[in-house]
Structure 1
Amino acid sequence: MRRGTHLSQHEQGQIQALRLNNWTIRRIAAHLSRSRSVVATFLRNPGLYGKKRRPGRPSKLTSTARRALLRQAHKRHLCSSELVKTLSLSVTPSTVRGILRATPTIQYSKMVPAPMMLPRHKIAPEQWCREKVTWTVSDWMNVVWSDEKKFNLDGPDGFGYY
């Protein structure tokens, strides 16, 4: 059966105050829009509410490390092994992938294959602009502007991106 959210500290205080004013469990539950069973369970033993240990293997990552992992994954586009290295985590990359897969705010996307960006590639556009800044209108009239789009009318030619 599906579990609801835990009672907040504010709701717990409200339940105790309303019970001291002789409200019934049903009336308290209706007032707070909570189930009767959660109100009754809390009133049975308020000190132990929410302290029950959950079964199963404990997580290898602390909540702090998990938040740091998700923060890095949101900020930077790194693969799971790079995330493990940058954060120096004591888990495997497959564990990181499982955590990221379970997070609804992070969407997996495969990187488009592209050649490596070298420093000369970054300098080339600026250098081209510096060469052409002194051109006159007549110089630009001699340039043939062409579109480099490749149209495959009979289907793909085997390349993933064209």
Structure 2
Amino acid sequence: MPRNTRLTTLEKGQILVHHSNCISLSAIARELGRSRTVVTNFLRDQKRYNRKNAGGKPPKLTEADKRRILREGSNGDLGSAGIVKALQLSVKARRVRQVLAAAEHLRYKQIARTPAMREHNEKSRLKWAMTRMVWSNAKWSQIVWSDEKKFSLDGLDGWRINGMT
């Protein structure tokens, strides 16, 4: 925090004029009633003078990286770890999930987990389908599908007659 007030626009202009006229820094400081250090600091970096430094560690993700994450995430093909790998990011998958969660136009939807189809399972399914491919409508109508009928193997089916307990 500065000990004194910051330089005004007028004082900055006076410092620049005096400095261009080759007046010493000490003389400029005496003329303005300011310290030699503030004059030196202003002349050293005029563009950054009087701007606050946010401090702290700079973020690992740039705005461009965040846009790339959102673009890749909106495709819906990859999870957060896949996005990190695909974009070769220097952050963890958790940070990618945070960026995606912060996006208002995206909503999280967990990918349904399914077991991997093994080769012998695929062949047996194909064989099963091929044998039934030639079935007639009459044959298919004989099949009772499990979602069409409620089977109660242990007694009551949940219905009861009025007055009976």
After TM superposition, the score normalised by the length of structure 2 is: 0.45
- Greater radius of gyration (CA): 2
After TM superposition, the score normalised by the length of structure 1 is: 0.46
